[in-house]
């Protein structure tokens, strides 16, 4: 027998018992005639003791054990003289009678400790060692627990988990496809799914009216901290539902996860139209843990002779309370912030309402003190408050102000890191115009239904059409998104036309779905959640990589298995692909 107990299990009540444990050597230290070893497995750490006076051979063997050796010991549980209240097994130790080395270990390239000395690259290369660390173990356990609770909730609600294929055909969801050459169909390729979107719709047509799947999706995009080329979705679809049925069902899922995993009770999620989110927060994923909403100032600051404001589509301000005495240096820092290319404003104007009631502004050449006072009054500013103002192209400036708002929220410590404020953002625009290619793209995906009252605008005023689409946003992070779908062939064809598909292209790519719509497609809708992101949010992490067992690095590489890699000429030949001439 390898073990009678795990390394996290024994307590004072076990004192006197004979036990066998197996695990990894975490630490090995000598104190006088005693040798202490911390033995680790995924359940915890148990202290082993070897006594020179009782068994000198055994004690000498123990002193030879290096870090990460795998051993098995047999011995007796004893109450510890020096108790360690920090660990659950801290009241006992094992007086070892037999030691067997199951496998020695090379000296690991970094310490397997909470504060390891290993850099990211090294830890990724030896990910199996990195995964022995507490933090990673906790993260993967959290992930496992969230998957279980997701399944518990959805199973209870009559959803069934159905697997959909990974080798499919390209679906345009806004990213590039990963493709897989087919050996049996030379010159042809499968695509890996960006999501199971069309399959889950086909399942609705097939009558499985509540589907889910915790499923891997693949998108060949440039990577960022919260993106991976393969990532996991909780993918869901329901038939015979309205938008509100979908929102209520999945608000229930979110609340269930909050309570069962974090023991946090959250109140009902507000539902905010996209337009309102953009106007008030400058973002379609607003962090509503703090206020400081955007205030439009066109009516107060335009037509007073200041050309920059006069030419702007939008003049917008936020009020930073208690910042009315900001120094020039502090204001310059904020100006530098808004001028960063990621933020994209050209300058920052301000009105300082100082503690002693003076009004100082970067634009006082153009405005009378009365003009400026009107702005302060309308924004409810008090002495010691600061108004920050941006002006320019409406969409650009809104989002720049959204960034500045978040920055000020951070600087002023207005964001409570342990609070959760979820909301639904609803009524997204159906389409997005792309200046470069001069065509419309589906903001969500081409299967999203317009709001019924907006369908008539589809061909006359496409910009104005709202989608029956929604996102779940928690603390400024988009956790999921979905929509009520089109389930009628004519409307789907019309949608493809608006998106610039020829009849032939639409039929080639999506004929299977449109044909299926002709065989009794029920009204349906659904949602998908970014599982990695959700786990990361619950775990309080910054990067989804820390919550994925074997993630890829910034260049999309797995540095442990060294992939992607070249394949042999024979393999290429077999696939009918000519070797690169590079
Ligand atoms: N398939 C969509 C996505 O991956 C989600 C959905 O509409 O259900 O974003």
The parent domain of residue 386 ranges over 290-411
User: Are residues 241 and 302 located together in one domain of the fold?
Assistant: no
Atom of ligand 1 nearest to the CA of 448: 7
Helices (H), 502-563: 503-516, 531-539
Which of 355, 389, 411 represents a domain boundary (last residue)?
A: 411
User: Are residues 294 and 261 located together in one domain of the fold?
Assistant: no
Atom of ligand 1 nearest to the CA of 237: 8
CATH number at residue 343: 3.30.1360.30
User: Are residues 336 and 372 located together in one domain of the fold?
Assistant: yes
Q: Is residue 4 part of a domain?
A: no
CA nearest neighbour of 463 among 485, 441, 482, 479: 441
User: Are residues 212 and 314 located together in one domain of the fold?
Assistant: no
Q: Is residue 513 part of a domain?
A: no
User: Are residues 183 and 64 located together in one domain of the fold?
Assistant: no
User: Are residues 302 and 224 located together in one domain of the fold?
Assistant: no
| Nearest CA owner, ligand 1 atom 1 | 197
Q: Is residue 23 part of a domain?
A: yes
Atom of ligand 1 nearest to the CA of 481: 5
| Residue 406 Cα to ligand 1 middle (Å) | 27
| Amino acid 221: pLDDT | 87
User: Are residues 323 and 232 located together in one domain of the fold?
Assistant: no
| Residue 516 Cα to ligand 1 middle (Å) | 19
Pick from 177, 196, 202, 233 the residue to mutate for probing ligand 1's pocket: most ligand atoms within 8 Å of its CB. Answer: 233
| Nearest CA owner, ligand 1 atom 4 | 195
Q: Is residue 21 part of a domain?
A: yes
CA nearest neighbour of 465 among 431, 426, 425, 500: 431
| Amino acid 59: pLDDT | 96
Which of 349, 376, 411 represents a domain boundary (last residue)?
A: 411
How far is Cα 5 from Cα 296, in angstroms, rounded to an integer?
65
Q: Is residue 534 part of a domain?
A: yes
Q: Is the pLDDT of residue 173 over 70?
A: no
Q: Is residue 187 part of a domain?
A: yes
CATH number at residue 156: 3.30.930.10
How far is Cα 496 from Cα 503, in angstroms, rounded to an integer?
8
On whether the CB atoms of residues 553 and 547 are closer than 8 A, the answer is no
Which of 411, 430, 452 represents a domain boundary (last residue)?
A: 411
How far is Cα 212 from Cα 195, in angstroms, rounded to an integer?
12
User: Are residues 171 and 246 located together in one domain of the fold?
Assistant: yes
Average pLDDT along the chain: 95
Q: What is the pLDDT of residues 403-426, one digit of tens each?
A: 999 999 999 999 999 999 999 999
For residue 169 the two structure tokens come to: 């055909």
| Residue 90 Cα to ligand 1 middle (Å) | 48
| Residue 68 Cα to ligand 1 middle (Å) | 44
CATH number at residue 82: 2.40.50.140
| Amino acid 227: pLDDT | 84
Q: Is the pLDDT of residue 582 over 60?
A: no
How far is Cα 120 from Cα 126, in angstroms, rounded to an integer?
10
Q: Is residue 228 part of a domain?
A: yes
Atom of ligand 1 nearest to the CA of 233: 4
Q: Indicate the number of domains in the chain.
A: 3
pTM of the model: 0.95
Q: Is residue 430 part of a domain?
A: no
Provide mean pLDDT across the span 273-294: 98
User: Are residues 306 and 386 located together in one domain of the fold?
Assistant: yes
User: Are residues 25 and 144 located together in one domain of the fold?
Assistant: no
The band of 175, judged by pLDDT with boundaries at 50, 70 and 90, is confident
Pocket of ligand 1 (CB under 6 A): 195, 197, 445, 481-483, 526-528
Provide mean pLDDT across the span 155-161: 98
| Amino acid 171: pLDDT | 64
Q: Is the pLDDT of residue 310 over 60?
A: yes
Percent of the chain with pLDDT over 70: 99
Provide mean pLDDT across the span 151-170: 96
Pick from 201, 253, 284, 445 the residue to mutate for probing ligand 1's pocket: most ligand atoms within 8 Å of its CB. Answer: 445
Q: Is the pLDDT of residue 16 over 80?
A: yes
The band of 172, judged by pLDDT with boundaries at 50, 70 and 90, is low
The band of 94, judged by pLDDT with boundaries at 50, 70 and 90, is very high
Q: Is the pLDDT of residue 429 over 80?
A: yes
H helix or E strand, kind and range, residue 77: strand 70-79
User: Are residues 296 and 255 located together in one domain of the fold?
Assistant: no
User: Are residues 148 and 256 located together in one domain of the fold?
Assistant: yes
């Amino acid at each position: 027998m390898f073990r009678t107990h795990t390394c996290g299990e024994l307590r004072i009540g076990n004192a006197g018992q004979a036990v066998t444990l197996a695990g990894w050597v975490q630490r090995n230290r000598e104190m006088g005639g005693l040798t202490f070893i911390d033995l680790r497995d995924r359940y915890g750490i148990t202290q082993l003791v070897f006594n020179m006076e009782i068994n000198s051979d055994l004690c000498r063997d123990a002193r030879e054990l290096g870090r990460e050796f795998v051993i098995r010991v047999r011995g007796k549980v004893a109450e510890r003289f020096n108790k360690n209240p920090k660990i659950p097994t801290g009241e006992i130790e094992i007086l070892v009678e037999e030691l067997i080395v199951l496998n020695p270990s090379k000296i690991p390239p970094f310490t397997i400790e909470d504060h390891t000395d290993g850099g990211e690259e090294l830890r990724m290369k030896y990910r199996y060692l990195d995964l022995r660390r507490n933090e990673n173990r906790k993260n993967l356990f959290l992930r496992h627990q969230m998957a279980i609770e997701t399944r518990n909730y959805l199973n209870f609600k009559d959803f069934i988990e159905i697997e959909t294929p990974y080798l499919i055909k390209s679906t345009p969801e806004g990213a590039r496809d990963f493709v897989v050459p087919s050996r049996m169909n030379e010159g042809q390729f499968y695509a890996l799914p960006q999501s199971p979107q069309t399959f889950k719709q086909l399942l609705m047509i097939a009558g499985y009216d509540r589907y889910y799947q915790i499923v891997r999706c693949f998108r060949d995009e440039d990577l960022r901290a919260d993106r991976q080329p393969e990532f996991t979705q909780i993918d869901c679809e329901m038939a015979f539902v309205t938008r509100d049925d979908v929102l209520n069902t999945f608000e229930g899922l979110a609340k269930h996860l909050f309570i069962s995993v974090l023991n946090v009770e959250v109140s009902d999620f507000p539902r905010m139209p996209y337009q309102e989110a953009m106007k008030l927060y400058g973002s379609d994923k607003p962090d509503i843990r703090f206020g400081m909403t955007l205030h439009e100032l066109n009516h107060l600051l335009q037509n007073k002779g200041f050309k920059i404001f006069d030419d702007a589509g939008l003049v917008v301000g936020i009020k930073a309370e208690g910042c009315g005495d900001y120094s020039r240096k502090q204001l310059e820092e904020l100006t530098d912030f808004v001028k960063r290319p990621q933020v994209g404003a050209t300058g920052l104007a301000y009105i300082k309402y100082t503690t002693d009631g003076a009004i100082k502004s970067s634009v006082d050449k153009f405005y009378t003190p009365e003009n400026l006072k009107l702005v302060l009054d309308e924004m409810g500013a008090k002495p010691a408050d600061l108004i920050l103002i941006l002006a320019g192209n409406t969409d650009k400036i809104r989002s720049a102000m959204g960034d500045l708002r978040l920055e000020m929220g951070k600087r002023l410590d207005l964001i409570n890191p342990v609070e959760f404020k979820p909301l639904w953002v609803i009524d997204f625009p159906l389409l997005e115009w792309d200046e470069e290619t001069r065509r419309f793209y589906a903001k969500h995906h081409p299967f999203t239904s317009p709001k019924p009252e907006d369908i008539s605008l589809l061909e006359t005023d496409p910009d104005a059409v709202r989608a029956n689409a929604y996102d779940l946003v928690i603390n400024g992070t988009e956790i999921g998104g979905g929509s009520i779908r089109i389930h009628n062939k004519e409307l789907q064809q019309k949608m493809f036309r608006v998106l610039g598909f020829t009849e032939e292209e639409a039929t080639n790519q999506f004929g299977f779905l449109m044909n299926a719509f002709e065989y009794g497609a029920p009204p349906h809708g659904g949602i998908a959640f970014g599982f990695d992101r959700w786990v990361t949010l619950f775990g309080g992490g910054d990067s989804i990589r820390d919550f994925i067992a074997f993630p890829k690095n910034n260049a999309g590489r797995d540095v442990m298995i060294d992939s992607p890699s070249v394949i042999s000429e024979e393999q290429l030949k077999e696939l009918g692909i000519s070797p690169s001439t590079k």
